[in-house]
Amino acid sequence: MSTESTTELKQILSENATTDADLRKQEAALVKLGEIYRDQQNAAELTNVIKSSRSFMSSTAKAKTAKLIRTLIDHFDHIKDSRDAQMDCLIDNINWAKSDKRVFLRQSLEIRLAGIYYASKDYKAALSLLDGLLKELKRLDDKIILTEVHILESKIYYSTSNIVKSKAALTSARTAANAIYCPPLLQAQLDLQAGILHANDRDWKTAFSYFFETLEGFSSQDDPRAVSALKYMLLCKIMLNLSEDVDAIIQNKMAQRYAGTNLDAMKAIAQAHKNRSLIEFEKALRDYKQELSADQIIKSHLSSLYDTLLESNLLKIIEPYSKVEIDHIANLLSQPINAIEQKLSQMILDKVFYGIIDQGNNCLIVFDPPQEDHLYDTTLDTLKNVTQVVSGLFEKTAALQSV
């Protein structure tokens, strides 16, 4: 777009609209101007357009104004490094909506702002904003918005590792959603959060079914979040030790729509896990760093998987030995000595195997598992029975004396 085009559009917006045709022309100009600044990656000008158009918006219906502002603010998502600008713009428009008594618009923008706080990891600010919103929405009984807020609340609590409150918020979201017709996108978000919480409980089969429902929901609406749901499905199969199923899922017609580096990354992890190879696992993490590390859900579970894989490899190596040098173990696994020593210490403390680390000689001494002596347990059971018999005799004696 040329500079003259933006000037012309601004001129249209500055004119006084006297007819419905003039208003429609200004609405089209406003939308077009927002798209231009989105394409130019110009967050500052987009903010100015939203702010300067308020006088025009005051003459439009409140529902249409809300739609226009939300459309313009959505453009920030396509502008790099615009989170701060979007946050300032949201706060400014929330204050305007309050002063102009546009309740629906204010609520919508506050939910958006809470989402920005969540993305910025400012969980305290996000929860504080949602608390006020929830009290208001429960009085208004707006089930759709209430469901959205509870889902966001569940995500925030999950991110702060407060799993109990995260599950409670998801239950509240489901309760609100069950009272209305739930749109496919909203239902997909519910299923996604349910899958994440079940995965956290290591209930991988249930999590897989929820992620499958999520994938279908997002795919039907061409939502880009479908890729994440598909990755989570593949993760569940890997965690269930069913890495061979990963290829079958990837070859599925629905999955083929999302073919690319994201699926290649999960396929590489599945292959490394199948081969029980730490080297292949680490190579996959390096080669697909963005695809595997950017998503905190994938990252946390892969960290757990890597730990399990390292543990199984260590047990396999030390099995034939009663004494082995730590340097030798580290060389076989191509891992740093400090990391191996730390992991062995943890395994000893967790009683995965019995042994000690001789730091003076830099070696691991492995003991045979101690034989359980059941004599103590049998003796304690016997004494417990004797105590019950003696107590019973005392009770009978006391009863005879009272007679």
Q: What tens digit of pLDDT does each residue of 199-239 get?
A: 999 999 999 999 999 999 999 989 999 999 999 999 999 99
Q: Nearest Cα to 76, choosing from 88, 85, 65?
A: 85
Residue 338 has pLDDT above 80, yes or no: yes
Mean pLDDT across the stretch 73-82?
A: 90
Mean pLDDT across the stretch 394-400?
A: 80
Residues in contact with 393: Cβ distance below 8 Å, sequence separation at least 6, in sequence order: none
pLDDT of residue 137: 86
Residue 325 lies in a domain: yes
φ, ψ dihedrals at 251, nearest 5°: -80, -10
The crossing angle, in degrees rounded to 10, of helices 83-99 and 62-74 is 170
Name the region of 24 (left: φ>0; alpha: ψ -120 to 50; beta: rest): alpha
Residue 22 lies in a domain: no
For residue 30, name the pLDDT band (cuts at 50, 70, 90): confident
Residue 328 lies in a domain: yes
The CATH number that applies at residue 339 is: 1.10.10.10
pLDDT digits (tens, 9 = 90+) for 135-153: 888 887 788 889 999 999 9
Mean predicted lDDT score pLDDT of the chain: 88
Residue pair 344/364 in contact (Cβ under 8 Å)? The answer is yes
pLDDT of residue 127: 94
What range does the domain containing 356 cover? Answer: 321-370
Residue 197 lies in a domain: no
Please give the distance of CA 292 from its chain centroid, rounded to a whole number.
Answer: 13
φ, ψ dihedrals at 324, nearest 5°: -145, 145
Task: Report the domain count for the chain.
Answer: 1
Residue 353 lies in a domain: yes
Residue with tokens 């399990």: 308
Mean pLDDT across the stretch 159-184?
A: 93
For residue 1, name the pLDDT band (cuts at 50, 70, 90): very low
φ, ψ dihedrals at 393, nearest 5°: -65, -40
For the ranges 158-172, 280-294, 320-334, the maximum mean pLDDT occurs at: 158-172
Q: Nearest Cα to 66, choosing from 25, 36, 110?
A: 110
How far apart, in whole angstroms, are the C-alpha atoms of residue 348 and residue 231? 34
Residue 151 lies in a domain: no
pLDDT of residue 138: 82
Q: Residue by residue, what is the 3-state secondary structure of the chain?
A: CCHHHHHHHHHHHHCCCCCHHHHHHHHHHHHHHHHHHHHCCCHHHHHHHHHHCHHHHCCCCHHHHHHHHHHHHHHHHHCCCCHHHHHHHHHHHHHHHHHCCCHHHHHHHHHHHHHHHHHCCCHHHHHHHHHHHHHHHHHHCCHHHHHHHHHHHHHHHHHCCCHHHHHHHHHHHHHHHHCCCCCHHHHHHHHHHHHHHHHHCCCHHHHHHHHHHHHHHHHHCCCCCHHHHHHHHHHHHHHCCCCHHHHHHHCCHHHHCCCCHHHHHHHHHHHHHHCCCHHHHHHHHHHCHHHHHCCHHHHHHHHHHHHHHHHHHHHHHHCCCCEEEHHHHHHHHCCCHHHHHHHHHHHHHCCCCCEEEECCCCEEEECCCCCCCCHHHHHHHHHHHHHHHHHHHHHHHHHHHHC
pTM of the model: 0.79
Amino acid at 276: R
Residue 326 lies in a domain: yes
For residue 17, name the pLDDT band (cuts at 50, 70, 90): low
How far apart, in whole angstroms, are the C-alpha atoms of residue 74 and residue 10? 20
Residue 7 lies in a domain: no
